[in-house]
């Protein structure tokens, strides 16, 4: 089991009242980083995705490497205005504002098993927007994989219709 104490917590970031879970402390420790990646990859493997997508930016740390290891495509979900071609987009609320994510309209095929990866499941707004965005591709199935779930924020409720797995639940 991964040692949660290796993840630094920063209070009042990005604004007062928010506790930020900083995974850079894990990334700076090669052994912990490898342990974490192997655990995520094993969970991803059991879900048998046909494509992996991730949310900008910390989801990009793990998801592309998992896609390579599984020999499947990686599709980035980007913040508004960052993709150069035709996109689908979805707006959502954060704990501290709102945001829009986009995906290229030709990013994946229809009727695929999609795995959406991110580092933290907090209030679930970002994850719900990602799932809604993926509906444009008429997926066979959508699963979620997170490094950490902040269960006290009840974010899992917003994506309850999907399989949701996390390495760490706090």
Q: Classify 37-169 by CATH class.
A: alpha beta
Q: Identify the H or E element spanning 53.
A: strand 51-55
pLDDT of residue 42: 97
pLDDT of residue 17: 86
pLDDT of residue 140: 98
CB 51 within 8 A of CB 114: yes
pLDDT of residue 86: 97
pLDDT by 10-residue block (mean), the chain, 170 residues: 82 88 92 94 97 93 97 97 96 81 97 97 94 98 96 96 95
- Distance from chain centroid for Cα 105: 19
């Amino acid at each position: 089991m991964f040692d949660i104490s290796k993840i630094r917590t920063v209070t009042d970031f990005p604004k007062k009242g928010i506790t930020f879970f900083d995974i850079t402390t894990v990334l700076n420790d090669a052994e912990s980083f490898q342990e974490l990646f192997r655990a995520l990859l094993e969970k991803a493997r059991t879900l048998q995705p046909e494509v992996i997508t991730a949310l900008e930016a910390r989801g990009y740390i793990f998801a592309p490497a998992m896609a390579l290891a599984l020999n499947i495509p990686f599709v980035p979900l980007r913040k508004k205005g960052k993709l150069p071609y035709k996109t689908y987009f979805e707006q959502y609320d954060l704990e501290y504002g709102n945001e829009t994510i986009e995906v290229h309209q030709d990013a994946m095929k229809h009727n695929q098993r999609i795995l959406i990866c991110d580092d933290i499941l907090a209030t679930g707004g970002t994850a719900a927007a990602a799932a809604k965005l993926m509906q444009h591709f008429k997926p066979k199935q959508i699963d979620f994989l997170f490094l950490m779930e902040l269960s006290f924020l009840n974010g899992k409720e917003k994506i309850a219709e999907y399989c949701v797995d996390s390495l760490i639940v706090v």
